[in-house]
Structures are given as structure tokens and as C-alpha cells.
Amino acid sequence: MRLSIQKIRTITLVLCMSVISNTAFADRIKDFADIAGQRPNQLVGYGLVVGLDGTGDQTTQTPFTLQSVLQMIGVLGVTLPLTGTQAQLRNTAAVMVTAEFPPLSKPGQQIDVTVSSLGNATSLKGGTLVMTPLKAADGQVYAQAQGNLVIGGARAAAGGAQTSVNHLSAGRIPSGAIIERAVPALLVDEFVQLDLRRADFSLMQRTAEAIGRRFGLGTAIPIDARALNVRVPTDPLRRTAFMAALQDLDVPAVSGPAKVVLNSRTGSVVINQAVQLSPAAVAHGSLTVRIEQTPTTSQPLPFSRGQTTVTTQDTASITDNGKENSLIRVDSGANLDQVVKALNMLGATPQDLISILQALRAAGALRAELEVI
């Protein structure tokens, strides 16, 4: 039986759409899981920034800056007499240096560092960080930092007025630290543990099934909702190839828990697709929010062997009692996104929005976790 060109094109289109639908909602294992033991570490150090244009610490108010300078130049063989005088080092500032030690880093590699003023320096622009040891939580030195600061800001002054752009008390030094010692590596074992960044039994089940289909049953052994043991080759070459294929393996995505994130300072609202609303009514000041459900009956077509089903249509309305003709009705199938948009159209403040969503959550009408940042 021959197929027409039109049918062949239709079948090809359906196959392409199915492939796209199967791969569009898949995540690589490296995007949602980490290898146990291969994690970054925090480094911190105390140092001095020199070469400032009179914008450094006032040593009369920050005596630790002067003490640090005396100790530094003392190591270099310089003695500073301070009998009867008080040194003013306006070109020097005490700073804290922070960095992230990447996993599997080796001595000689370079990492970026962040330098932040510790005293009352007005600007670190144009300064140079003097060699500063960076320590981890165990108190051991893992890197040395030094270099010129990069600060994306400026300050201008005229008479008694001054203005500044961006923050001038903190900056970064790209590749400003050299790693001096490596973190002890884990011993090669038969199993490698993968830790999901979010505990989820559904995602764990799909991950184990995807690994089993690709590398064989028994390769992945789930421990709980977060940890998963994977059997790996012990030969270095085979192990590297196996880990590369494992991290690039696609796993069908799962929907996360229903969550609404509110920024109380900017009024931003982020809603995921799992958020649902139930019938409710909230009164907040002059604002009134109503969410109603209307049952509807769906009849099947004649001779279609279908069944009669009862569904609901959600309708949301927001009224501002302090304004005329201010009733805004949201279309059927209302969700939280539409409610938030309607509230914004009425000019609700971020605090009003937060209060209304908290009331909906407390009443059980907002079936989602509410997080305020």
C-alpha cells in the first residue's frame, strides 16, 4: 500500500512533534544533581588595599588598619616610630577578601575574589590588594590573593556637594587568587553518589529509570528522595567516559511544588504553573477579591460512547470600593496570575498584594507555599 505525499508529510510532522515534546521538557542530570564530595568551599581572608586617592580609612576611627599596616611593613623590615604622633593613612583601607574554591581545583589555578571594605573608607577605586592568604573553615591556607581592584562606579564632588554612581566600597579582582593547595580527593570506589538539589521522589524515580534504560538495570540504586548510588567502572578511562555520558543523560522533568514568591521591596510576584485557587472572598481596605466556581455539565456527542462529566469554571473579580466603575472581572478559568494582574490594574501596592495573598493562603484558598523575600 502506497502512501500519498501529503500523508507522508503529516506522519513526519507528527513524529517531529512527538520528538520535540519528549525532549523539550527534559533536564540533564548535571542540571539538577551534584556528585557527592565534589562541592565548592568558601575562602576568606583579611588584607589591605593600598594606593587609594585619599579615600581610605581614617585610622583614628579604625585603629586596626594602622595596626595591620605596622605588622605588614614590620615583616618587610620597616620600623615606623609613632612616639607622640598619630599616623594618618588615608591611602590604605582594611578589607575582607572572599572567594569560592571550586571543586577539584589544583594548585596553580586562578580564581576570582571579592574585596569589601571593613573600615570607613569612602571608595576602593584605583586600589591594589596586597598579598592576602585565604583560609577555609579548617583554618588552612588554600589560596593567595593579590591584584588591582575593578570597581564599576564613580564619584564626583564640587564644593560641598558630591554624587556617586554604584557602590564604591566593594570590588572584584578577576583571577586575583592563585590556589596553593588542593582539597583531598575522594578514593575511587565502585559507586558514585548523586545528590539531587531538591528532594523529590518523583524526580528520583525518573532519574533511576533513565539511568537503568541507558546503562542497564541495577546501575542506579536510590537511597532516599535526594541521594542515588550509581555503579561506575573503576578503570579511569572507562570511568571518565561513563561519567560524561551520565551527566548528559536527559531525564523527563517533573513539576515542582506549588509556590508563590513575593518580593516585599519591589512588589515582584513569581508564580509557578502548579498554583491553584479555590473559591474565596477577601476584603482588604477598599479592595475586595472574590473567586467563585460554577459547575458546568459536558455532554458527549451522539453515538460517541462518551460519558457525561461535570466540570467547574472559575471566575475572579476584584472591586475597589473607593473608586467608581472599578470592578474588574477576570475570565473563566481564573488563576493566581490573572488575579495579580487585576490587582495591579487597580493600583494595589506591594503591601496590599502580600496581605491579600497571605489571607488567601491562611483561608486555604491559595493551594501553594507562600515565600516572601
Q: Do 9 and 174 meet the contact criterion of CB atoms below 8 Å apart?
A: no
Task: Render pLDDT for 44-95 as a digit per residue (tens, 0 to 9).
Answer: 999 999 999 888 888 888 888 888 888 888 888 887 765 555 667 789 999 9
Report for 123-137, 302-316, 328-342: range of highest mean pLDDT: 123-137
DSSP string, 64-88: HHHHHHHHHHHHTT-----TT----
Rounded CA-CA distance 178/140 in Å is: 15
Looking at mean pLDDT, say which of 75-79, 106-110, 322-326 comes out highest.
106-110
Beta strand pairing call for 259-262 and 369-372:
parallel
Domain positions in the chain are: 41-78+86-156+163-179, 187-252, 259-372
Instruction: Note if the pTM is more than 0.85.
Output: no
Cα–Cα distance between 85 and 362 in angstroms, integer?
65
Q: Is 167 helix (H, G, I), strand (E, B) or coil?
A: coil
210-229 burial by CB neighbour count: b if 16+ within 10 A, else e? Answer: bbeeebeeebbeeeeebbbb
Q: Identify the three-state secondary structure at position 29.
A: helix
Q: What's at 7, amino acid-wise?
A: K
Strands 92-101 and 276-277: unpaired
Cell, residue 40? 565548592
pLDDT for the residue 12: 44
More confident: 41 or 338:
41
Strands (E), 197-336: 220-222, 227-231, 250-252, 259-262, 269-271, 276-277, 280-284, 287-298, 309-320, 328-330
Beta carbons within 8 Å of 191's beta carbon, 6+ residues apart: 221, 229, 230, 231, 232
Which H/E stretch holds residue 131? Answer: strand 128-135
For the residues of 99-125, what is the DSSP string, one character each? EEE-TT--TT-EEEEEEEE-SS-S--T
Mean pLDDT calculated for residue range 234-254: 90
Residue type at 306 in one-letter notation = G
With vertex at residue 322, the alpha carbon angle to CA 320 and CA 328, rounded to the nearest 5 degrees, is 25
- What is the predicted pLDDT for the residue at 22? 43
Of the candidates 95, 141, 144, 92, the residue with the CA atom closest to the CA atom of residue 115? 95
The Cα-based distances of 153 to 92, 146, 149, 159, 171 in angstroms read 19, 21, 12, 20, 10
Q: In the β-sheet with 33-35, what is the strand arrangement from edge to edge? A: 33-35, 191-196, 227-231, 220-222
Query: Looking at the predicted structure, is the pLDDT value of residue 321 above 90?
Result: no
**Which of 360, 336, 344 has its CA nearest to residue 267?**
344
pLDDT tens digit string along 285-307?
666 666 665 555 666 666 566 66
Q: CA-CA distance, 281 to 163, in Å (whole number)?
A: 49
Cα separation, 352 vs 205, in Å, equals 41
Average pLDDT over residues 203-218: 92
Give the separation between CA 69 and CA 57, rounded to whole angstroms: 12
What is the rounded average pLDDT of the residues 328-335?
Answer: 53
State yes or no: pLDDT of 7 exceeds 70: no
Q: Which of 73, 277, 54 is nearest to 155 (CA)?
A: 54
Confidence tier at 278 by pLDDT (50, 70, 90): confident
pLDDT of residue 284: 63
The DSSP secondary-structure symbol of 351 reads: H
| Edge-to-edge strand list for the sheet holding 280-284 | 280-284, 287-298, 309-320, 328-330
200 has a pLDDT exceeding 50: yes
